Amino acid sequence: MLSREEYLKQFDELQKLTVEATNTLTKWISPGLTEKEIADKYYSLLSDFGFSEHWYPILIYSGETTSKPITRRVHLPSDKVKVGENDIIFVDSTPMKGTVWSNWCDTVVIGDNEFYESLIEGVRDIVKETAVFAKTKAKSVGDLYSFAINLIDKNNLEMLDPYKDVGHSIFQVPEHQTVDKTPMEDRLLLNEVFKDRKLEGIVSIEPQLGRIDPLDGKMYGAKLQEVVVF
């Protein structure tokens, strides 16, 4: 395993590549593509940067599926779900090299939809404000979690994650150790269960939040991310 200094340096390098691949992907997405085609493109872009393994499978959620909990157990990229002319889509990846896995997600609007744009901006503001609070005032997971929950309630958004967390830790794992092989006790979720834990290492703030569109009465979700190093 790498020293803290070596780990943070490698994580920073891999994270920049992951963000770059994600930005390229979201600009490429267009109506008519299936979630599976988008996931395949994402894998290809990350492969071009030298990633051949993933801590967690790539996730692509579009339209109504954005309201489902983000987990491979609920939904994997579908070859039957296509991007619409006006749609909301989020992408999430955790590519890894050696003992280091990076993590990035983003939500974008295809076409022109004021409700989707407003939803994304609301989530983005919450994530940014929570990240600032984490860097300047929060001492524990409970501090950060309470702050984020208060913002979520004020903005009339709903938590969609099954564990009711607003993020998680990012940490080293033995080579080739995917999420299925990683003990839950090695992980830290930003939720009520871990409220007494100290904030340390690398923490990803990335709540999945939703709101009902008054035009069709359906729930849609968005997920954006900020990474904080303690």
Buried b / exposed e over 2-33, threshold 16 CB at 10 Å, is eeeeebeebbeebbebbbebbeebbeebeeeb
Alpha-helical (H) ranges within the chain are: 4-28, 35-48, 114-136, 141-154
Give residue-wise pLDDT tens across range 177-230. 999 999 989 999 999 999 999 999 999 999 999 999 999 999 999 999 999 999
Number of domains in the chain: 1
In this predicted model, what pLDDT tens digit does every residue of 79-112 receive, in sequence order? Answer: 999 999 999 999 999 999 999 999 999 999 999 9
The domain that holds 48 is classified in CATH as: 3.90.230.10
pTM over 0.85: yes
Structural domain of 70 = 4-229
